[in-house]
A and B are shown apart, each in its own frame.
Chain A
Amino acid sequence: MKSLVPILTVLAAIIALWAVAVIPMNAHITADLAQRQGMVISPEAPRDRQAYSGTSIAFKNPGIIPMTFVQKRPLLPSPHQVVGELWKTVFGTRITSKKSLVYHGWVTLSATLLGFVIGTAGGILLAVGIVYSRTMDKSVMPWAITSQTIPILALAPMIIVMLGSIGIQGLLPKSVISAYLSFFPVVVGMVKGLRSPDSMQLDLLRTYSASSNQGFWKLRLPASVPYLFASLKIGISASLVGAIVGELPTGARAGFGARMLVGDQYGQPLVTWAALFAAAMTAAALVAILSLIERQTLQRMGMGAA
């Protein structure tokens, strides 16, 4: 908790920078608009203004500075506009409405969670296989590691179309993308975790004449839990990115990705920004929930270090 003040200071500095940047970013469009409404702007011709930077336009016309913060179609929305749009679309709109971010969030989140569960389960199974089969270890593990260095997210559009052309649509294609993005981190983390008991611990179990089955359930699996959680936290944010990107190429009508695209194509920057922040908050919430479960679990298992 003692780092709360520094964190808040850094956050405040970021927001302050953002707020200051709003003025030069929006100066040109604000000047154009203000002139049309009858304000005197210098330099007078819009074409001459292009030669000046946003900062100097704002200095020459201090009158437009307050207006840069409330533009309808700003290049950079001000912090309070984004908060306002978020509030309006999260709390001020009926959940069933197509404008509600809760509705769009649920579309993305359900695909993310389904994919995450599938990917994690598959990853754990493969990791167990790798730890117990030398052949699997030697043949599959190098590919699992290499896959971490490859932008597999680029497969996303093709998976949507591939599954679409054999008649699978909606939630599942996005979940498949989420699943394979969370799959590999879990495999790599779990293999490391299941191998983490040292020879002393394995020997101890052998002196108890524990079977290999007991060794798995009583030593290897519990020892892998901290590694599993570290992978899960990477996996869940990768899953969310996967689901969002999965919504982009096919022009999905619902979800965070669709919302960003709509805001982009119809010139509603506030919609894009609100969707972006909502996605960020969802990611943060998912990671926070996992951290909470992690802390509780590790504490109960007697591994609660921090």
Chain B
Amino acid sequence: MAYALAISVWIAGWWLNARLSHSAASDTRAYSLLIPAIFGMTIIIMWEILVQMLDISAVILPAPSAIAARFADSLHLLWADFVQTILKGAMTGYLIGALAAFAVAILADRSSFLTKGILPVGAFMAALPIVGTAPIFVKWLGSDWQSKAAVVGVMVFFPILVNTVAGLKDNSAMQRDLMRTYGAGYWPMLFKLRLPAAMPFIFNGLKISTTLALIGAIVAEFFGSPTVGMGFRISTSVGQLALDLVWAEIIVAAIAGSTFYGAMAWLEKRVTFWHPSQRQ
């Protein structure tokens, strides 16, 4: 019975989406938001039906309604965790890591020898499981947000560094020669030509790093944290089998992650409006 109901919900949702996505207006903005939203709703309704009708225990999979209720109940708690992990840990670390990466990139950029070395080494480091340094930083800087910021800083450093170094090289001899005919020295050249030209690359690095920053801040809390924070809440609630609270934290993480990414993408659009990929 439960399965039959769930499957009929699935078929209904799918039929609706098939109609919508094959209709003439399917490429409009409203439809391209509506269709995935219907898909998401279909999944959530099926989830609710299956959990309710099959009596699945809340310690295995809580129903969406239970998660929503818990979310509304614990807004204060979630907000405190959000401030601790995202605003203090992830954002501070992201800022430090990004500034350090810019500084190193601009310094290294003066020597093509260093650039040749930094690009492959940085790309290599970016592929490593840096989040594993969390216990070391927790030991050095204590369990509060400073250690999380340090982990995040190291994690975001390499992708931003590699992209900035690559971006600073992305200008043609013709463009540099033009600047030289204007009598531009190193600094005008850097600020007026090379940094603006590097922006698409830099934003690529910044966008990749938004997710890394959240992962670093949350996972580092598994290794030690004060009694507040999203990673702390996830690991202790899992221990107490309060899975509805864990799901609520994951919703917060999802909202924070896509907002952070969206903010970077918005900024990119503003800064690199001249780039072919941004033109309307």
Q: Tell me the A219-277 residues at the B interface (CB within 8 Å).
A: 233, 237, 240-241, 244-245, 248-249, 256-257, 260-261, 263-264, 269, 272-273, 275-276
When distances are taken between beta carbons in the complex, the residues of chain A under 8 Å from B120 are: 3, 7
Contacts A3-B117, A139-B36, A154-B253 given: A284-B128 contact, CB under 8 Å? Answer: yes
Report if A153 contacts B (CB, 8 A). Answer: yes
Report if B47 contacts A (CB, 8 A). Answer: no
Report if A155 contacts B (CB, 8 A). Answer: yes
> Are B250 and A269 neighbours in the complex by a CB distance under 8 Å?
no
When distances are taken between beta carbons in the complex, the residues of chain B under 8 Å from A209 are: none
Interface string of B257-280 (1 = CB under 8 A from A): 110111000000000000000000
Cα–Cα, bound, A165→B235 (Å):
16
Interface string of B110-131 (1 = CB under 8 A from A): 0001111110110010011101
Cα–Cα, bound, A6→B122 (Å):
12
Cα–Cα, bound, A165→B234 (Å):
17
Q: How far in angstroms is the closest Cβ of chain B from A270? A: 11
Q: How far in angstroms is the closest Cβ of chain B from A238? A: 9
Residue in A14, A148, A249, A256 whose CB lies within 8 Å of B238: A249
Q: How far in angstroms is the closest Cβ of chain A from B14? A: 7
Q: Tell me the B8-43 residues at the A interface (CB within 8 Å).
A: 14, 17-18, 20-22, 26, 31-32, 35-36, 38-40
When distances are taken between beta carbons in the complex, the residues of chain B under 8 Å from A233 are: 127
Cα–Cα, bound, A138→B30 (Å):
12
Report if B2 contacts A (CB, 8 A). Answer: no
Dominant SS among interface residues on chain B: helix
Interface size on A, as a range, is 35 or more
* Segment at the interface with B among A34-42, A83-91, A156-164: A156-164
Residue in A8, A11, A283 whose CB lies within 8 Å of B129: A283
Cα–Cα, bound, A287→B120 (Å):
13
Cα–Cα, bound, A284→B130 (Å):
12
> Are A245 and B131 neighbours in the complex by a CB distance under 8 Å?
yes
Report if B179 contacts A (CB, 8 A). Answer: no
Q: How far in angstroms is the closest Cβ of chain A from B228? A: 16
Report if B215 contacts A (CB, 8 A). Answer: yes
Cα–Cα, bound, A118→B262 (Å):
30
Cα–Cα, bound, A169→B272 (Å):
49
Cα–Cα, bound, A9→B214 (Å):
32
Report if A149 contacts B (CB, 8 A). Answer: yes
Cα–Cα, bound, A283→B132 (Å):
12
> Are A9 and B113 neighbours in the complex by a CB distance under 8 Å?
yes
When distances are taken between beta carbons in the complex, the residues of chain A under 8 Å from B124 are: 284
Cα–Cα, bound, A194→B9 (Å):
31
When distances are taken between beta carbons in the complex, the residues of chain A under 8 Å from B38 are: 139
When distances are taken between beta carbons in the complex, the residues of chain A under 8 Å from B116 are: 3, 6-7
When distances are taken between beta carbons in the complex, the residues of chain B under 8 Å from A283 are: 127-129
Q: How far in angstroms is the closest Cβ of chain A from B22? A: 6
* 27 CB-based A-B contacts, threshold 8 Å: A3-B120, A6-B118, A11-B121, A138-B32, A138-B36, A139-B39, A142-B36, A149-B258, A149-B262, A150-B211, A151-B218, A151-B253, A153-B219, A154-B253, A157-B238, A165-B57, A165-B59, A165-B60, A166-B60, A249-B222, A249-B238, A264-B138, A264-B223, A269-B136, A280-B132, A284-B124, A284-B127
